[in-house]
Structures are given as structure tokens and as C-alpha cells.
Amino acid sequence: MSQQTLKIVALSGGLQRPSRTLALVEELVDGIAQAVPVQAQTIELGTLVPQFGPVLYRQKLPAEVERALQAIESADLLVAASPVFRGAYSGLFKHLLDFVHQDALVDKLVLLAATGGSDRHALVIDHQLRPLFSFFQSRTLPVGVYATDADFSNYVITSEALRSRIELAVERAVPALRQLVDARAQQAARAPLLALA
């Protein structure tokens, strides 16, 4: 992986397959990948739940869940998406993030997304997900994306309005991602000079 390549980790909080939440994060990651060089990895919560549901302490987690947590913690950009359950992100989504070290996401760029059955729960992004990542002192990107069941047909995005919201979120994310790439390039250019000093 070159220094210019950003590591994107998408955490899809969907518990079923197929999943609208998964379709949404895939579209977001695709959009970002068209704008900046990325290496992307998707974590599907539903596949991990049987392994971490009854676990309380990180050191007791199986290796696959530990690897997922390490991927989340080492991402340059985390795309964090959950279905809305009773007006909030799902309890299992929070349970996975409860294993993340409290300082591991400081300053991390996070793109927020959610899916729900109702338009009326769109504020889950700003009232639930954003405060969760504020706890972690992450840098949540200004535009998050909320989609409803009506934006999909057979778990595939069919709504042009949703596509526009995804485009806007990507457009607003790209400057922050480019800054990261530039900062890395400058750091890499300085490194040989520092070695000579």
C-alpha cells in the first residue's frame, strides 16, 4: 500500500443479509474510491455478532473480532453506518464499539450513515451517531447520509435523491481526505532530510 493510499474501513451495522445498510456503505466507499486512492475493507456487524454478543472484555474476544477492531482503530477513514432500531443505532452496533479503546479514535475521520424505515428518524445521524463519535473525540464529517426503505428496491439503491445525498457526502469528505494524503506526502518528503540532520 503506497503512502498516498488511504485505508477506509466501513462498519455496516446491518444484522441481516441482504442489507440496505450494507448497500449504502458500499456506495459511499465506491464514491470515495473514485476521488482518492483507497484500500477499502468492509466489516459486517451481523457476521460478527454471534462471536461478540455475550463477551464483555476485549481480551476474551475471538481473533476475527479482534482483527475487526484493529481495522476500525487503524483506519484513516471510518464509514460508520447502522440501521435505526427504536429511534437509535442498534444496541449491537454500540456493543462492538464498546470494545474500542477510548483513545483509539481520537481525531479519526468518520463518515456517518444510517438506514431506517421512516423519514422521521433521519436525525439519528446528528442526535445519536454524532454524539457517540464525539465521545471518542473523532472528527465526524459534516454531511452524513440517511436512507429509508423507500430509497431501495430489493436492497439495491434506486433513489436519485439518495444518490445525490451520497455524492454530496463524498464531495464534502474529499477535501479532508486529500489533506491527509498531502500531509503524508510532506511527511515522507521530510523523512530523508531528517535522517541526514
Give the binding site for ligand FMN (CB under 6 A): 14-16, 19-21, 83-87, 115-118, 121, 149
Q: Beta 156-157 vs 152-153: how paired, if at all?
A: antiparallel
- The CA distance from 27 to 149, in Å, is 15
Q: Output the smallest distance, CB 140 to ligand FMN, in A.
A: 20
Q: What percentage of the chain's residues is helix, strand, coil (to nearest 5)?
A: 50, 20, 25
User: Residue 16 or 187: which CB sits closer to ligand FMN?
Assistant: 16
Q: Output the smallest distance, CB 152 to ligand FMN, in A.
A: 8
Question: Which cell is 160 given?
Answer: 436519485
- The CA distance from 171 to 176, in Å, is 10
User: Residue 37 or 117: which CB sits closer to ligand FMN?
Assistant: 117
Find cell 446491518 and name the residue.
14
User: Residue 30 or 149: which CB sits closer to ligand FMN?
Assistant: 149
Instruction: Identify the sign of the CA torsion 49, 55, 58, 63.
Output: negative
Q: Output the smallest distance, CB 22 to ligand FMN, in A.
A: 6
Q: Output the smallest distance, CB 7 to ligand FMN, in A.
A: 24
Assign 186 to helix, strand or coil: helix
Q: Which residues share a beta bridge with 84?
A: 89
Length of the chain (residues) = 197
Could you check whether the bond before residue 192 is cis, i.e. omega within 30 degrees of 0? no
User: Residue 14 or 31: which CB sits closer to ligand FMN?
Assistant: 14
Report the 10 Å Cβ neighbour count for 171.
Answer: 12
User: Residue 108 or 165: which CB sits closer to ligand FMN?
Assistant: 165
The residue whose Cβ lies closest to ligand FMN is: 116
User: Residue 19 or 138: which CB sits closer to ligand FMN?
Assistant: 19
